[in-house]
Structure 1
Amino acid sequence: MFKNWLKKKNKELTLTAPMSGKGVPIADVPDPVFSGKMMGDGMAVDPSEGILTSPVDGEVVQLFHTAHAIGIRTKEGVELLLHIGLETVSMEGEGFTARVAVGDKVKTGQPLIEFDLEKVREIAASTVTPVVITNMDHVEQLETLVSGEVQSGEPMLKVILK
């Protein structure tokens, strides 16, 4: 009877651009796993620099041994996958240097992985770097805050949590 008396206010979380470059809608990522949102929803950046920074405060929960991708969990429980380029796992870590380890607490803007952008351009299928929320069951709504060119650290996505 009193359920609607006090309405719960949803929390918001802002994801910043993890690198400078061109913002790319997730639907335009040239890989059906990402564009079809099979891994989750988000956005991508086609980088103009070779450093991936944290888009949120959180904890590193996964770091691929090849350092081409990383998973971060926020205190709100949102889990992110940041995947540098497409088909970069085939590079077997060449040109990638992790600056963090699993279990590390990270702050927004903190360098996570440095990479040789020219080498990625030469070898990988694409340099487009998806930033995906992998547990969308925590998300009520996702709003894109940028289009076109983005700067590292600039607000990129607004997440309304359930």
Structure 2
Amino acid sequence: MFYRLRKFLSVLEPSTLKRVKSPFEGNVLPLSMIKNTIISSNVIGPSVAVKPTSDTLRAPCDGIIKTISDKHNALIIEVGKVQLIINAGLNPQKYHDNLFVIKVREGDTVTTGMPLLSYNLEILNQIDPCFTCVLTVRQVKSIRSFSFTSNKKVFFDTVLFRLNIS
């Protein structure tokens, strides 16, 4: 019964409204705990931070890989006119060149749930005890207000928010 209702409601959802799922699994952290003031102050855009419990980051929605960082710990996914910035760790100066295994290239089209990068969580937690993953929505004029999920723990299938990409 709930399956049919969910399927019916998905038809009513406008095509410009994208569900953005969590690219990581773990425990949601308050932004006040993030020492990076650009992220904690939402300078670039609204963010959600997670203390990861898995070693993989996945595509939060369909899009195009716009940029990959030199250390392979961060990337930008373009979704319509919106850019999603995904960071695995916020201290790239601490990370060795081979800690992150990137699974995509710039220009690749990705689909929801597709693996983007992986890492050794145990080693990263030793190198950086504050190792945190962050998803930031780069602010653009077309974004209407939205709020992130209030869940304390997220999984790959957790919808973080809905984004109007029109």
Pairwise same-fold verdict (TM > 0.5): yes
Shorter-chain TM range is: 0.7 to 0.9
Name the aligned partner's letter for residue 52 of structure 2: P
Is 1:79 paired with 2:83? yes
Equivalent position to 1:66, from 68, 71, 85: 71
The number of aligned residues is: 153
- Taking structure 1 as the reference length, the TM-score comes to 0.85
Q: Distance in 1 between matches of 2:64 and 2:30?
A: 25
Name the aligned partner's letter for residue 28 of structure 2: G
Partner of 1:154: 158
Residues 125 and 33 from structure 1, CA distance in 2 versus in 1: closer, same or farther, beyond 3 angstroms?
farther
Q: Is the 8 A contact 1:91 1:123 kept in 2?
A: yes
Partner of 2:55: 50
Residues 156 and 85 from structure 1, CA distance in 2 versus in 1: closer, same or farther, beyond 3 angstroms?
same
- Point out where structure 1 has 5 or more consecutive residues left out of the alignment: 1-8
Partner of 2:130: 126
Q: Distance in 1 between matches of 2:30 and 2:54?
A: 19
Residues 101 and 10 from structure 1, CA distance in 2 versus in 1: closer, same or farther, beyond 3 angstroms?
closer
Q: Distance in 2 between matches of 1:108 and 1:48?
A: 19
Q: Secondary structure at the match of 1:109?
A: coil
Is 1:94 paired with 2:98? yes
Task: Quote the sequence identity (%).
Answer: 20
Per-residue displacement from partner, 1:37-84 (whole Å, max 9, x unpaired)? 12211212210011000101000000012111010001x211011000
Q: Distance in 1 between matches of 2:150 and 2:24?
A: 13
Q: How does 1:105-120 map to 2 (within 5 A)?
A: 105-120=109-124
Shift of 1:139: 0.9
Shift of 1:130: 1.0
Per-residue displacement from partner, 1:5-44 (whole Å, max 9, x unpaired)? xxxx894222101111012344543321100112211212
Name the aligned partner's letter for residue 30 of structure 1: K
